[in-house]
Structure 1
């Protein structure tokens, strides 16, 4: 981000800001919170409303936070599963709900790919300045996303036992073997709950998919809203490029995609901005609104779960151990 600001900033560029456009940044903040709200609503709906709104927001913010500090290819699903277990769900149920949530995301990606391919006939969705490598990378990404979506659909909707087999094989590894028996019981719960989700009417899937779609539409709208808050631009092309960007973010190897996503923003959205000096400013505003706000809220949510674990561990101690672990007034 600092690199982009250094190379694109021009003294006096702030004089060209139009005050009538700046309220768009407030809209961007609202849309960022709407994304969190729709994501939390999806988790709550998949739990059949057993999770309250506050708990659903905590789970989602913890998930977001972990995604922000781990490579994009890793994601925050493990933390989402852990958070749901701290909310009272079994590991099997939590895993099934998180897997179903991921499946809905993959379903959205599978829908986004043909949209981008058809749009590419009429718009320059992937900028020409990315060259052959950029276009080939996006095609490979599309193929990978469609393949992964197909595998998840098969595992969740057609054959949940396949997921069980994969998990059991993984936990035969030497450093995971001691948890094999516990995981075996939980995979039974996972398969059972997956069957329950699969048995839901089509309306259940459609509503959950709607919530997932709205969350992703909010995420995709943010770069365009930020760009339009600074300068006029081609709205349709900006949205399409934002969609392509967000798919590319999924394979970033750095924590939260840091470094890579800023570069992709400059490559995809930069050419749409008349004043190149605004690129660094746009990246800064977008990352603060879409990333750092989630990190801050996610820290609080994740800390809440850590505190719960500490309290539970303390409660499991005998009275003598508790007394020994609590510092006396003299030591304080």
Structure 2
């Protein structure tokens, strides 16, 4: 981000800001909160509303936080599974919820990819600046997303026993064998809940997919809103390129995509920004609102779980000490 600002900065940049557009920054902040709300709503639906909405918000924030500090290719799913168990959802069920949530994302990709390909006939959705290698990479990303979505859908909706077998096979490895007994039980729970998900009515699936779609639309809208808050631009092309850019984010191997997403922002949206000096400013504002916001508020959510865990351990220690004192007195 610093490099982008350094190479695009020119004196008197702020002089060209249009004051009447600046309130758009507050709209971007509001959309960030909406993104969290939709994500939490999806988790609560998948959990059969067995948890409170605040619990779902904490899980959502923790998931975002973990995604921000781990490589994009890993995401925050393992942490989300842990936080769900801390909210009272069994591990097997929380794993199934996490996988089902990821599968819904794959359904969204399956819709987004054709949109990009079809609109690419009329608009330059993938910029020429990325070159032949970039175009080939984007093709591989799109293909990989569709194949992964198909495999995950098969495992969850058609043959849940296959996921059970894979998990058991992994935990037969020498280093993991000691956990096999407890994990095998949870794998059975995962398979059982997967079968339950298959029996859910269509309105359950549609509601969960609606929240997934709205969450992703918020992600796509954020960079567009930030750019338009600073200066005019081609709205339709900004949205389409933001969509393509967000899909490309998924393969960046750095924590939270740091470094890579800023470069993709410059490649995809930079050419649509009339004044080069505003590219660095746009990247800065966008990352502060999305990435650093997730870090800051996610830390608070994670600390809630840490404090709760410490409190529970202290209570157990105190109970043991009291029991010892009672035995001593007896």
TM-score (norm 2): 0.96
Contact 1:160 1:195 in 2 (8 A): yes
Contact 1:71 1:255 in 2 (8 A): yes
**Structure 1 residues 323, 132: closer, same or farther in 2, change over 3 A?**
farther
Deviation at 1:321, TM superposition (A): 5.9
Deviation at 1:289, TM superposition (A): 0.7
Deviation at 1:311, TM superposition (A): 2.2
Matched residue, 2:328: none
Matched residue, 2:327: none
Q: Deviations over 1:183-242 (max 9, x none)?
A: 000111111111111101111111110010000000100010001001111111111110
SS class of match (1:126): coil
Partner Cα distance (1:173, 1:74) in 2: 21
Matched residue, 2:92: 92
Contact 1:314 1:322 in 2 (8 A): no
Matched residue, 2:33: 33
Q: Across the two proteins, how many residue pairs are aligned to each other? A: 324
Matched residue, 1:213: 213
1:289-328 alignment runs, 5 A limit: 289-317=289-317, 319=319
Partner Cα distance (1:187, 1:309) in 2: 25
Partner Cα distance (1:148, 1:311) in 2: 41
1:15 has 2:12 as partner: no
Matched residue, 2:191: 191
Partner Cα distance (2:248, 2:263) in 1: 11
Matched residue, 1:266: 266
Partner Cα distance (2:288, 2:38) in 1: 20
Matched residue, 1:286: 286
Which moves more between the two structures, 292-301 or 315-324?
315-324
Partner Cα distance (1:118, 1:319) in 2: 65
Q: Deviations over 1:287-330 (max 9, x none)?
A: 01111111111001011111222222333336466999xxxxxx
**Structure 1 residues 315, 176: closer, same or farther in 2, change over 3 A?**
farther
1:108-127 alignment runs, 5 A limit: 108-127=108-127
Matched residue, 1:142: 142
**Structure 1 residues 90, 18: closer, same or farther in 2, change over 3 A?**
same
Partner Cα distance (1:311, 1:115) in 2: 50
SS class of match (2:19): coil
SS class of match (2:78): helix
Partner Cα distance (2:26, 2:323) in 1: 51
Partner Cα distance (2:130, 2:320) in 1: 66
SS class of match (2:10): coil
Deviation at 1:169, TM superposition (A): 1.0
1:198-277 alignment runs, 5 A limit: 198-277=198-277
SS class of match (1:20): helix
Partner Cα distance (1:66, 1:119) in 2: 33
Contact 1:220 1:246 in 2 (8 A): yes
Contact 1:110 1:146 in 2 (8 A): yes
**Structure 1 residues 322, 175: closer, same or farther in 2, change over 3 A?**
farther
Partner Cα distance (2:43, 2:120) in 1: 33
Which moves more between the two structures, 38-47 or 304-313?
304-313
Q: Deviations over 1:251-298 (max 9, x none)?
A: 010000000000000110000010000000000000011111111110
In structure 1, list runs of 5 or more residues that go unmatched: 325-332
Matched residue, 2:82: 82
Contact 1:24 1:226 in 2 (8 A): yes
